[in-house]
Chain A
Amino acid sequence: EPEVTQTPSHQVTQMGQEVILRCVPISNHLYFYWYRQILGQKVEFLVSFYNNEISEKSEIFDDQFSVERPDGSNFTLKIRSTKLEDSAMYFCASSGDYAGYTFGSGTRLTVV
């Protein structure tokens, strides 16, 4: 069964550093998303991406965040200057239509 692949599975970074989280969506999917889950809290939408541009972003997705699809397969989330409160599990997801989303296994980001 096709999978969404995320790397790395766990990243530790110092406050103020830039991080890039990587995702390989399912190859024939057209819509891509990033969500995050702070420990013990609900899964929150960050951004959706379609046709090489952002479709929608949440209020969490401020100027410190950016997304890119640098080639035909990867989808990245960049956090320019990490803060302690950015520590969370970040999930990438992709979908082909309205019928459902496939999530990756997540990247646990720890900012120290």
Chain B
Amino acid sequence: AQSVTQLDSQVPVFEEAPVELRCNYSSSVSVYLFWYVQYPNQGLQLLLKYLSGSTLVESINGFEAEFNKSQTSFHLRKPSVHISDTAEYFCAVRSMQGGGSEKLVFGKGTKLTVNP
């Protein structure tokens, strides 16, 4: 079984400041890792994912996350945030085993609030 811990439930930052949203996971097997974003009153959108290869993955809107196997972490970072980044961010994992029907296991989410 897998579990995901997002240590910060809320992160307030000022516009143009850097931000890091932390995610740690626990699993007895190798996993794929995902970050999803949920804007107010909307559904879940895939932000980025780590499947294999380079441990640093990037999204089209400036976010990046680095897979650290030894620390079982997949922290999300952005060097300079915008007001429009205000949203809830969910880290999720799924087992590499079991084929395409494996479920995602989510963390509790981190609410990022960007203030002017």
- Taking Cβ atoms with an 8 Å cutoff, the residues of A that contact B are 30-31, 33, 35, 41-45, 48-50, 55-56, 91, 93, 95-106
In the complex, what residues of B have CB within 8 A of residue A96's CB? 100
Contact present for A50 and B44 (CB under 8 Å): no
In the complex, what residues of A have CB within 8 A of residue B45's CB? 103
Q: How far is the CB of A108 from chain B (nearest CB, A)?
A: 9
User: Is B102 part of the contact surface with A, judged by Cβ < 8 Å?
Assistant: yes
Contact present for A45 and B42 (CB under 8 Å): no
7 smallest beta-carbon distances between A and B, as pairs = A105-B43, A55-B101, A103-B44, A42-B108, A43-B106, A45-B103, A50-B101
Contact present for B103 and A33 (CB under 8 Å): yes
In the complex, what residues of A have CB within 8 A of residue B11's CB? none
User: Which B residues from 84 to 112 make CB contacts under 8 A with A?
Assistant: 90, 92, 94, 96, 99-109
- Taking Cβ atoms with an 8 Å cutoff, the residues of B that contact A are 32, 34, 36, 42-46, 49, 51, 90, 92, 94, 96, 99-109
Contact present for B103 and A48 (CB under 8 Å): yes
Can you sample 6 A-B contacts with CB below 8 Å? A30-B100, A55-B101, A56-B101, A91-B44, A97-B100, A103-B46
Measured CB to CB, the nearest residue on chain B to A4 is: B43
In the complex, what residues of B have CB within 8 A of residue A41's CB? 108
In the complex, what residues of A have CB within 8 A of residue B92's CB? 43
Contact of B100 among A31, A35, A43, A44 (CB under 8 A): A31
What 9 additional pairs, Cβ within 8 angstroms, besides A97-B100, A102-B46?
A45-B103, A48-B101, A48-B103, A49-B101, A56-B101, A91-B43, A98-B32, A98-B99, A98-B100
Measured CB to CB, the nearest residue on chain B to A107 is: B43
